[in-house]
Amino acid sequence: DAKTTQPTSMDCAEGRAANLPCNHSTISGNEYVYWYRQIHSQGPQYIIHGLKNNETNEMASLIITEDRKSSTLILPHATLRDTAVYYCIVRVRGDWAGKSTFGDGTTLTVKP
Amino acid sequence: EAGVAQSPRYKIIEKRQSVAFWCNPISGHATLYWYQQILGQGPKLLIQFQNNGVVDDSQLPKDRFSAERLKGVDSTLKIQPAKLEDSAVYLCASSLGGRGGRYNEQFFGPGTRLTVL
């Protein structure tokens, strides 16, 4: 499985865009990039996923570099409720097995 | 749409005791997952079911942990006997499975927080 590297923590001002980076330099051609987040005391929540094209949904945008070795999750207008741990996961579609499925993620703190 | 239900939400036991957790997935979801999340770490997959069959249990400590999914719906995870290092949040998730749905997006329950004293 491809390993991902994320910063341990990040801060963002409320109303500003939050850009969360993820490095996955050993990603394979059939592996997708998934993003989940976990708000305190809740289970993880799916945000978005992509293979090689940029993706956008009602929650966020995902920008994947052309060589697919890194990606950025963008929350366009962060709110206090976006404070959470964000996990970047690289997996073959539908295959969630592995010792460190989610890694340790990035703790995003949105400040007023 | 009802989400993934788990019970109990909290459990405190002494080491060497037994404990069981219950999960009711979203209706129609064929795939069910159990994760262990130790404080400060990301979730780690313990076992994955497809209907009532085990797809992957490579990370399940089988000497003390067991799980079943009778009739392919609800599932129980049991620890017997518990150790101090089993203190964690146990998360259940489900997905449509197969080739359907949003690329096997997982929906998580609120988790059961286990404290072993």
B80-114 residue pLDDT tens: 999 999 999 999 999 887 654 455 688 999 999 99
Has residue A72 got a pLDDT over 70? yes
At A96 the pLDDT is 60
Of the candidates B40, B45, B55, the beta carbon closest to that of A98 is on B45
At B103 the pLDDT is 52
Report the chain A residue with the minimal C-alpha distance to residue B47: A97
DSSP letters of B60-98?
S-TTTEEEE-GGGS-EEEEESS--GGG-EEEEEEEE--T
At B56 the pLDDT is 86
B84: alpha, beta or left? (left if phi > 0; alpha if psi -120 to 50)? alpha
Chain B neighbors of A99, CB-CB under 8 A: 44, 59
Q: Which helix (H) or strand (E) holds A24?
A: none
For residue A86, the distance in angstroms to the closest alpha carbon of chain B comes to 10
Of the candidates A43, A45, A102, the beta carbon closest to that of B42 is on A102
Of the candidates B42, B45, B107, the beta carbon closest to that of A96 is on B45
Contact A102 B107 (CB under 8 A): no
What is the mean predicted confidence (pLDDT) over A37-44? 93
Contact B33 A103 (CB under 8 A): no
Which of A83, A91, A88 lies closest to A107, judged by CA? A83
- At A3, the pLDDT band (50, 70, 90 cuts) reads confident
Structure tokens at B37: 């999340």
Report the chain B residue with the minimal C-alpha distance to residue A48: B105
What is the mean predicted confidence (pLDDT) over B3-21? 97
For residue A15, the distance in angstroms to the closest alpha carbon of chain B comes to 27
Has residue A99 got a pLDDT over 50? no
At B101 the pLDDT is 41
At B90 the pLDDT is 98
| Model confidence pLDDT, tens digit, residues B68-83 | 998 889 999 999 999 9
At A1 the pLDDT is 57
Coil, strand or helix at A3: coil
Q: How far is CA B27 from CA A41, A94, B47, B51, B74, in A?
A: 24, 19, 19, 12, 10
At A29 the pLDDT is 87
